[in-house]
Amino acid sequence: MKRFMPVVIAAIACAVSASEMIQAAERQPKAETYSYGTKLDIAKVISVEEPANVCEAVPVHMVYEDHQGHRHVLEYSVMGKGCSNN
């Protein structure tokens, strides 16, 4: 039994870690898709995703808080970083 105890403890730790990751993902708000003219209430930008290294329009995400402290995820399109003027 003593030989199996570390395996049992490791399995429990993995299950707790997976559970915490699932709960964190559920707390993340669903992405809202931006369209021209959408009124935004941005009080604080939390993060902005870097565009892919391609030469075409790609979706990126910005996480921000509004003036009431609610967190939002906004999806919008930008030109990728893979274009050159050569």
- Is 31 within a domain? yes
Domain residues for 45? 5-79
Indicate yes or no: pTM above 0.75: no
Mean pLDDT score, 9-13:
57
Model pLDDT, residue 3: 63
Comparing CA positions, the residue from 37, 36, 35, 46 lying closest to residue 72 is 46
Instruction: List, for residues 14-70, the tens digit of each pLDDT value.
Output: 555 556 655 555 566 899 999 999 999 999 999 999 999 999 999 999 999 999 999
pLDDT (tens digit per residue) in 49-59 = 999 999 999 99
Question: Domain with 30 in it: what CATH number?
Answer: 2.30.140.50
Whether 62 maps to a domain, the answer reads yes
**Is position 86 within any domain?**
no
How many structural domains is the chain composed of? 1
Answer whether residue 84 is part of any domain: no
85 within domain boundaries:
no
Give the separation between CA 60 and CA 54, rounded to whole angstroms.
Answer: 13
- pLDDT value for 13: 55
Q: What local confidence, expressed as pLDDT, does residue 33 receive?
A: 92
